[in-house]
Amino acid sequence: MAKAITDATFEQETKDGLVLVDFWATWCGPCRMQGPILDKLSEELSEDVLKIVKMDVDENPNTARAFGIMSIPTLLFKKDG
């Protein structure tokens, strides 16, 4: 299952390797459809290959704002921070 992260843990969780950040919200229908796919993918792939994390934009608006996230779901790839 993809790990839930927060504004406070974002930098630490995304500083190493290739990381896929799923910006989502509980009320978002497409997010709820995409979530199980990303959870399954995170179980199938080693974090050495791709680390998948998710961030609820309602509970953690600062990071979403910093990246200019205007709609969800949005997927962001980060490599080595």
- Out of 2, 5, 21, 28, pick the active-site residue: 28
Backbone torsion region of residue 17, taken as left when φ is above 0, otherwise alpha when ψ lies between -120 and 50, otherwise beta = left
Q: Which residues are within 8 A (CB) of 7 and not within 5 positions of it... i.e. 6 or more apart?
A: 60, 61, 62, 63
27 is catalytic: no
Residue 28 bears catalytic tag: yes
User: Which position among 2, 5, 31, 55 bears the catalytic label?
Assistant: 31
Residues annotated as part of the active site? 28, 31
